Amino acid sequence: MTTAASPATTDLSDAHPDRVRHAAPVFRDYGGRIAFSGPVATLRVHNDNALVRKAVEGKGHGRVLVVDNAGSMECALFGGNLGKLAEENGWAGVVVIGCVRDTMELKDCSIGIKALAAHPKRSARAGAGEADVRVEAAGTVFAPGDWLYADADGIILAETKLT
């Protein structure tokens, strides 16, 4: 799992210009940890967070969960209860291509949480969606197993762990 000593995205970007992909600067920080990194796990859903709950109920092993809600601004997919579950189960972070809620509770979670915006409405809970899929968002690809590095300067991705 990542620590406060995670390499800076700027340093990694400079050191590995041909190995990193940069996400567009569209994400805001909501978690208690701003810098985080780890291997990517992905979900694709549509305004439904049942698979998100299922994922963070499982062991994270220092991974970063990327949740693709196609940028929907209709509801939140991740909130305080899921933030605590993700923290307790060893997830390094969560990136939501959509919205979160319970932002004051998320600040207390010792994981990284990035999303496009906050929204008070909860999502459906039907369980529709897909896991372990390539996600195209923010001008780049988030692929299962890639390494994601995030901090206050943004998000970068690489096919393998960078040093």
What pLDDT is recorded for position 36?
97
pLDDT above 70: percentage of residues in the chain: 97
Q: What is the residue-wise DSSP string for 84-148? A: HHHHHTT--EEEEEEEE--HHHHTTSSSEEEEEEE-SSB-B-S---EES--EEETTEEE-TT-EE
Return mean pLDDT, the chain. Answer: 96
pLDDT tens for each residue of 92-148: 999 999 999 999 999 999 999 999 999 999 999 999 999 999 999 999 999 999 999
pLDDT above 90: percentage of residues in the chain: 95
* Annotated domain spans of the chain: 25-152
pLDDT at 77 over 80: yes
Say if CB 67 and CB 78 are below 8 A apart: yes
Q: What CATH topology corresponds to 25-152?
A: Glucose Oxidase; domain 1 (3.50.30)
Phi, psi of 114 (to 5 degrees): -120, 145
Task: Please give the Cα distance from 68 to 66 (Å, whole number).
Answer: 6
pLDDT at 4 over 80: no
Task: Please give the Cα distance from 60 to 66 (Å, whole number).
Answer: 12
Cα separations in angstroms, 99 against 32, 48, 49, 69, 124 = 17, 12, 11, 8, 13
Task: Please give the Cα distance from 101 to 115 (Å, whole number).
Answer: 10
pLDDT at 6 over 90: no
pLDDT at 14 over 90: yes
| Residue 27: Cβ-neighbour burial (10 angstroms; 0-12, 13-18, 19+) | buried
Task: Please give the Cα distance from 152 to 14 (Å, whole number).
Answer: 16
Q: 3-class DSSP state for residue 53? A: helix
State the pLDDT confidence band at 3, using cuts at 50, 70 and 90.
Answer: very low
Mean pLDDT, range 31-53, rounded to an integer: 98
